[in-house]
Structure 1
Amino acid sequence: MNSELDRMVGFGRYLRASGLPVGTGRIVTFTHAIAMLELAPKDLYWAARASLISHPDHFEAFDRAFADYFGAGQLPEEIAAAHGDAGSEPADSEMFEIEVSGTGGWELPEDDTEESDEETAIQITASSAEVLRTKSFEDLTEEERASVALLIRRIAPIIARRKVRRLRAEVHGDRFDLRRTLRGSLRTGGEPFLRAKKGRRTKLRPLVLILDVSGSMSPYARAFLQFGLAAMEASRVVEVFCFGTRLTRVTRSLKSGDTDEALTRVAAEVSDWDGGTRIGESLGDLVKVYGQHGFLRGSVVVLCSDGLERGDPAQLETAMARLGRLAHKVVWVNPLKGSPEYEPLARGMAAALPHVDTFLSGHNVTSLEELAEALT
């Protein structure tokens, strides 16, 4: 392996030595993310957290370890602000036996067999991964589906960049807050003795994924659910729904356990899996329950469907219009768009498109990466 991959593998082992449950599979996923996605330095944290950590209870310990290993300056601004000066203390040398490598990273004494297994697993070539990234989900073998699941999981750091910036009151803010200054002057006889300030607060926009699991979408449903899992690993503000003839919220089922267990639970929970399609009715229920005072307002909504509506297209158009008014952005992902000959002539798709901000294909890993970029 090259020195950069050595360093990333070393970080995985550092987390393991710190007491976090980081297995070989997660280290492999992390190194693939670094090798394949050409991440910017600011994305390193999100790639590492999404690949190596599976439970929110471990985020704080991960943040400390990340700051110790890569330097506190590598933490994203919002994470560093949440911890204050956390991560500035060096690792306890009595807890771990650590050597500094010549490449500037950390290396831990490892078991030779375990190291060999990890290095062998990381030898997947870039060329074979590139073939899988461009191959349609419909044409994958079972063995290829397992590899594609890893590629989809690496998309998490891109999804994590989905943000909204708002101004809020801050003692050391960089902007003058006229409204608060005038309000404060009312307590001092109209004299503005204190100049109020405000600064920018960065937070993630809610992401709502609505996945069509009807019969015509069955070749793609698993990949879209894996995308949902990647999104949930990157952020806590994600909701996932499935629909065929009716809407089912599956967020909780996806939150715990490994990928296969989560997908099995969802398939059991969704009674109309691989059945018919009533998009308009399902979206109408979504807007009715979660619209005006729910998480749809201001969210990024992604609807994954081929648009083959069995119900009334007028009902779909009405639901999409309401959804478009509530959401910050509506993205429609249609695998059929991956074909150069495709035209959105189906009644459902034609009714929905006027209310869609971004229209993508989502038929392979590359197009899911484009979807992740569209969310930022």
Structure 2
Amino acid sequence: MAEEGHVSGKGSFTPVIQRQDAGKASYAQGDVAEEGPLRDVVDTVLGFARTLRHAGVAAGPDRVEAMLAAIGHLDVLDPSAVYWAGRLTLCSGPDDLDRYDAAFVAWFSGRRARLPRPAGRPEVRLAASAPLDGGAGEGDDDGETPDVAARASADEVLRHRDVAGLTDAERAHLRRLFALLLPATPMRPARRRRPAAHGSVHPGRTVRQALRDGGEVSRLRHRRARPRPRRVVLLVDVSGSMTPYADALLRFAHAAVRARPGSTEVFTIGTRLTRVTRELRLRDPDRALVAGGQAIPDWSGGTRLGEVLKAFLDRWGQRGTARGAVVVVCSDGWERGSTDLLAAQMARLRRLAHAVVWVNPHKGRAGYEPLTGGMQAALPSVDHFVAGHSMAAFEELSGVISHA
């Protein structure tokens, strides 16, 4: 049985969570934590979560809290326990596992340990002690540790690249980033009030409690309105001029549907209106886009925004789909039909919707001005005019929708 701060097996390891005093030599093999104070557990986990986010894993605050709760029941000096606690709480899918392993190696760099892996997966040699600075620790001279910082820097550059100019390899990597995107949901106040610890006094519940207590009012009962998700409607232009951006826009729509399947609707617009919400509810993004592509009859066709928007409002919007919703129109504004019809339908949409957001991929380019007839007709009825040309622009769009 291993001593405290070590792992049984071949050799022994310094504890996972340690800190050295500045300028002092590293721990000798087998030393316990008496030579230096234990590194704060929360700071270590938060730093590891930041490394994971730079590596492309969506380790949000809720997942970090879950890892801290798990570590609270485990031995923090056991590398195996820390590894599996993080893997089971911070990873959201199979695509995160390789990046998690690489980030774990980079953050907890030092002498290496063979940690248990599930059957059928190759073993990964993982470091056991946390780094003292930005460089690699002892045992990293063999060059096997992945350069997570370089990968994070490449991800950051890719986030700001225009999706229309990406190579096939960059597009494949961008798809993995889209799979980790979790668009926020706009909320609205609900009319129905529910029991709560604070808020207005609930007379009925207060009286009933007093009757149970023999007629003595010993405690006031409260109630308050809890916010509910507001409907989000995405109208994605799949005409010929939007072909370079249609795939990325539909992947953003798939992420939105995946986050809130009950309050998100997706339509494609071009020469006709097509509802693709059901197809985009498939869990796998590639399968969802293939199913959506098969359902869209006017892919890479013309653009008749006014006519299609009128069809949407007549069939769906007026009946309640657009009423009180955040409506997101993703188009470059090229209109082959009447711009007067488009202006009238946009004004009609503005009266129904809670907020109208227009996403134009060309807005992200330097010197862009909305001079096309379609954009000139639509902008007076638009609340938010944003770009939609890169991953960073889609993240900004998610924030605009959530605060609309």
**TM-score in same-fold range (> 0.5):** yes
Distance change in 2, residues 1:347/1:33 (3 Å): farther
Partner of 1:160: 184
Aligned residue in 1 for 2:3: none
Q: Which residue of 2 aligns with 1:216?
A: 241
The residue number in structure 2 matching 1:245 is 271
Secondary structure of the corresponding residue to residue 223 of structure 2:
strand
The alignment partner of 1:320 has SS state of helix
1:175 to 1:122, Cα distance in 2 relative to 1, 3 A = farther
1:185-334 paired onto structure 2 within 5 Å:
197-236=222-261, 237-256=263-282, 258-334=284-360
2:25 is aligned to none
Q: Which residue of 2 aligns with 1:100?
A: 81
Which digits, 9 at most, give the CA deviation of each residue in 1:194-219, with x for residues without a partner? Answer: 97742131222111111000000000
Select which of 171, 175, 178 maps to 2:199: 175
Cα distance between partner residues in 2 of 1:121 and 1:324: 51
Q: Is the 8 A contact 2:258 2:283 kept in 1?
A: no
CA distance in structure 1 between the partners assigned to 2:223 and 2:84 by the alignment = 42
Deviation at 1:154, TM superposition (A): 2.6
How many Å apart are 1:103 and its aligned residue?
Answer: 9.8
Task: Give the residue type in structure 2 aligned to 1:139.
Answer: G
How far off is 1:163 after superposition?
Answer: 2.0
d(CA) in 2 for partners of 1:283, 1:121:
50
Deviation at 1:298, TM superposition (A): 1.4
The answer for unaligned runs of 5 or more in structure 1 is 5-29, 46-65, 73-89, 92-97, 185-192
Q: Give the fraction of aligned pairs with identical amino acids, expressed as a percent.
A: 41
2:377 to 343, 351, 355: 351
- Cα separation, partners in 2 of 1:31 and 1:207, compared to 1, 3 Å: farther
Which structure has more relative contact order (CA 8 Å, sep 6+)? It is 1
Q: SS of the residue aligned with 2:192?
A: strand
Counterpart of 2:226 in 1: which secondary structure?
strand
Which range moved further: 339-348 or 291-300? 291-300
Cα distance in structure 1, aligned partners of 2:394 and 2:184: 14
Which residue in 2 is equivalent to 1:140? 166
Q: Is the 8 A contact 1:33 1:154 kept in 2?
A: no
Amino acid in the other structure paired with 1:198: R
Corresponding letter in the other structure for 1:339:
R
Task: Identify the residue that residue 110 of structure 1 maps to in structure 2.
Answer: 117
Report the alpha carbon displacement of residue 177 of structure 1 after superposing the two structures with TM: 5.5
CA deviations on 1:39-91 (whole Å, 9 max, x unpaired) are 7954548xxxxxxxxxxxxxxxxxxxx96x5549xxxxxxxxxxxxxxxxx99
Displacement after TM superposition at 1:176 (Å): 2.0
Task: Report the residue type matching 2:226 in the other structure.
Answer: R
Deviations 1:221-260 (A, max 9, x none): 0000110111122112211111110000001111125222
The structure carrying a bigger helix percent of its residues is 1
Residues 282-335 of structure 1: CA deviation (Å, up to 9, x unaligned): 111111112233221111111100000011111111111111111111110001
Distance in 1, matches of 2:116 and 2:56, equals 29
The letter of the residue matching 1:209 is L
| 1:170 alignment partner, SS class | strand
The number of equivalent residue pairs is 300
Question: What's the offset of the Cα at 1:116?
Answer: 3.8
Check 1:197–1:122 CA distance in 2 against 1; reply closer, same or farther (3 A cut). farther
Give, in whole Å, the separation in 2 of the partners of 1:131 and 1:312: 40
| Distance in 2, Cα, partners of 1:32 & 1:225 | 29
Bigger radius of gyration: 2
Bigger shift: 325-334 or 119-128?
119-128
Q: Quick one: structure 1 residues 40 and 145, their matched pair in 2 at CA, closer, same or farther if it must change by over 3 Å?
A: closer
- Is contact 1:99–1:106 with CA below 8 Å preserved after alignment? no
Distance across 1 between alignment mates of 2:167 and 2:230: 35
Q: C-alpha distance in 2, partners of 1:146/1:355?
A: 36
Q: TM-score with structure 1 length normalisation?
A: 0.68
1:263 maps to amino acid = L
- How many angstroms apart in 1 are the aligned matches of 2:298 and 2:147? 39
Equivalent in the alignment of 1:129: 155
Instruction: Select between 278-287 and 258-267 the one with higher mean Cα deviation.
Output: 258-267
Q: CA RMSD in A?
A: 4.0
Distance 2:188 2:59 in 1: 20
Q: Say whether residues 1:35 and 2:59 are aligned partners.
A: no
Could you list the per-position Cα deviations for residues 161-187 of structure 1 after superposition, in whole angstroms to 9, with x for gaps in the alignment? 432233533334522258x77xx9xxx
Partner of 1:85: none
CA distance in 2, matches of 1:241, 1:32: 37
How far apart, CA to CA, are the structure 2 residues paired with 1:311 and 1:326?
Answer: 23
**Residue identity in the other structure for 2:254:** L
Q: Distance in 1 between matches of 2:229 and 2:348?
A: 23
Q: Tell me how far apart the structure 1 counterparts of residues 164 and 346 of structure 2 sit (CA, whole Å).
A: 27
